[in-house]
Amino acid sequence: MQQWDVIVIGAGAAGLMCAIEAGKRGRSVLVLDNGKRVGRKILMSGGGRCNFTNMYAAPENFLSQNKHFCKSALSRYTQWDFIALVQKHAIAYHEKTLGQLFCDDSAKDIVDMLLSEAKAANVQIALQQNISDVSFADGQYTVITPELSRRCHSVVVASGGLSLPNLGATAFGFQLAEQFGLKVLPLRAALVPLTWQPSDKAVFEEISGVSLPVTAEANGTMFPEDMLFTHRGLSGPAILQISSYWQPGDEVLVNMAPQTDLVEFLTAQQQAHPEQEVKTALGKLLPKRLVEKLLELNVFANQPLKALNPKSIKQIADSLHGYIFKPNGTEGYRTAEVTIGGVDTDYLSSKTMEAKQQPGLYFIGEVVDVTGWLGGYNFQWAWASGWVAGQYC
């Protein structure tokens, strides 16, 4: 029977950060993971370059049933703290857009950095470990795998959510929370493409690959970014962002020309080119294949601009500034970047990430009901929640 101070379950962003911090405190730390390699989600994120944080990360960029819970961790380990760690390891990085920071070279640089820090803190890592049972008695936890039983004073659950099951995602963390009496809030896929209704699919799948800058809105929240038409539905950053706020049955309101007042634009085109057709004028602003589809759907009638009166110009403008899609659903966990919901934060200390009613049991990262926007925010939550737990476990 091996004895450890801390066993961390999950060798992802949150788990490795926690293990490093606990190891620095002189704790004996073992990280267990069910995969063949550490940091699988880190390695595939950001197209293989890892969008490791966001310069503008703040509590308002996160969804949770308790929107105040994340404030403590995010204020104590900030994006600037993680950037300083990246700089310490001389990893070259750049800002892509909107504060999103990516490695210049490869996401492997971030994993190598974490492994280097873990080694310096005497952290041990064991891979391909399938945990069959975790129990608590006499102030200690027993963690059982087919090969070995291990005892420890603290267990940190950093096993992630249900997103990207091909990377080894399981419900283990949620099941463990419930085993120890913590509430798990309803789970759903987020930062995920939305799928077509059959009628829309028949029309729009032909313009798969077309993208344009839009604002996408659902339930009073709006995101300005690109939208991409796919064979299955709508994707692109604006849609991934709004998917976190969208609920089944909801509409998504899309402004296809957010930077242009279409009434002014069409009126000016009418005065300058009265013989020009409506679709030709709109083709100056929108992808031509999209304009053809909107014409096919009778969003507007194709006629010379001189035939339009102010009312018909406003109708065209309104329909494009507020085009309504009613998605059929999402692509689900297979392509979702994160899982919304998870361990209810009411059952955790925001100061330590420890379960209030179960001493020595901690939950960090995606398994917790804290979900960030697209753009490095979820990694920042992983670093921050992991760092915090590592000070106490």
How high is the mean pLDDT of the chain? 96
Portion of the chain with pLDDT greater than 90, in percent: 96
User: Domain check: are 235 and 345 in the same one?
Assistant: no
Using one digit for the tens of pLDDT, what is the confidence trace for 73-127? 999 999 999 999 999 999 999 999 899 999 999 999 999 999 999 999 999 999 9
Rounded-to-integer distance, Cα 177 and Cα 357, Å: 11
What are the phi and psi torsion angles at 338 (to 5°)?
Answer: -145, 170
255, 299: one domain:
yes
**In the chain, what percentage of residues exceed pLDDT 70?**
100
The whole-number pLDDT of residue 249 equals 93
What pLDDT shows up at residue 73? 98
Q: Are residues 354 and 285 in the same domain?
A: no
Q: Are 34 and 158 in a shared domain?
A: yes
Cα–Cα distance, 41 to 279 (Å, whole number): 44
Q: Per the structure block, which two tokens stand in for 160?
A: 């992630």
Local confidence band at 299 (pLDDT 50, 70, 90 cut-offs)? confident
Single out the residue of 155, 130, 134, 152 nearest to residue 143, CA to CA.
Answer: 134
- Decide: 373 and 243 in contact? Cβ < 8 Å: no
pLDDT of residue 347: 98
Give the CATH number for residue 232: 2.40.30.10
Residue 145 has pLDDT above 90, yes or no: yes
Across the range 279-298, mean pLDDT stands at: 94
Domain containing 344: what range?
2-188+339-391
Please tell me the distance from the alpha carbon of residue 201 to that of residue 14, in angstroms, as a whole number: 39
In this model, does residue 147 exceed pLDDT 90? no
Q: Which two tokens stand for residue 353?
A: 């990430």
Domain shared by 316 and 347, yes or no: no
How far is it, in rounded angstroms, from Cα 291 to Cα 14? 45
Residue 363's Cβ-count burial label (10 Å; 0-12, 13-18, 19+) is buried
Domain total of the chain: 2
Same domain (yes/no): 244, 130: no
- pLDDT in the model for residue 89: 98
Which pLDDT score, from 0 to 100, does residue 34 have? 94
- Where is the domain boundary, 313, 330, 347? 330
Q: DSSP strand E in 162-210: where? A: 184-190, 194-195
Residues 314 and 384 in one domain: no
Dihedral angle computed from the Cα positions of residues 359, 155, 168 and 66, in that order, rounded to the nearest 10 degrees: 30
Residue 166's pLDDT is: 86
Domain co-membership, 163 together with 298: no
52 & 134 share domain: yes
193-248 pLDDT tens trace: 999 999 999 999 999 999 999 999 999 999 999 999 999 999 999 999 999 999 99
Distance CA 363, CA 31 (A): 14
pLDDT reported for residue 170: 92
Q: What CATH number is given to the structural domain containing 141?
A: 3.50.50.60
Based on the domain organization, do 146 and 175 belong to the same domain? yes
Point out the domain boundary residue: 279, 303, 330: 330
Task: Tell me which residue of 81, 63, 46 sits closest to 371, measured CA to CA.
Answer: 63
Q: Would you state the pLDDT for residue 1? A: 86
38-64 confidence digits (pLDDT tens): 999 999 999 999 999 999 999 999 999
Q: 109 and 212 in one domain?
A: no
* Residues 277, 378 within the same domain: no
| Listed range (161-165, 297-301, 312-316, 384-388) with the worst mean pLDDT | 297-301
